[in-house]
Amino acid sequence: MQLGTRWPFGAEPPASVPASIRPAIAEAEVGRVDGAGRAWTLTWLEGRPIAELDDGTVVRESTDPHAGTADAGDDDW
């Protein structure tokens, strides 16, 4: 069993937040001005981490094997 955690919007995620979703959390926070007073909640579903912001924004670990590659889905003509 893995326990979740909460942390404030804009703060460094706790050590229990996996590295695999940290970039997506940071990306979700970039440029947002409505984060004051909000918090993230880390939960686990079938062993996979899910971070949800109080406003309903959800960040999940990607199951796409091509995620993060520069040419995923792109054709070079």
What is the per-residue pLDDT across 37-74, written as a single tens digit (0 to 9) for each? 999 999 999 999 999 999 999 999 876 666 543 343 44
What is the per-residue pLDDT across 7-27, written as a single tens digit (0 to 9) for each? 999 999 999 999 999 999 999
The dihedral through the CA atoms of 45, 50, 54, 58 has a sign that is: negative
Look at the block and give the residue holding tokens 């070079």. Answer: 76
What pLDDT sits at residue 53? 96
The dihedral through the CA atoms of 56, 20, 4, 39 has a sign that is: negative
What is the model's pTM? 0.76
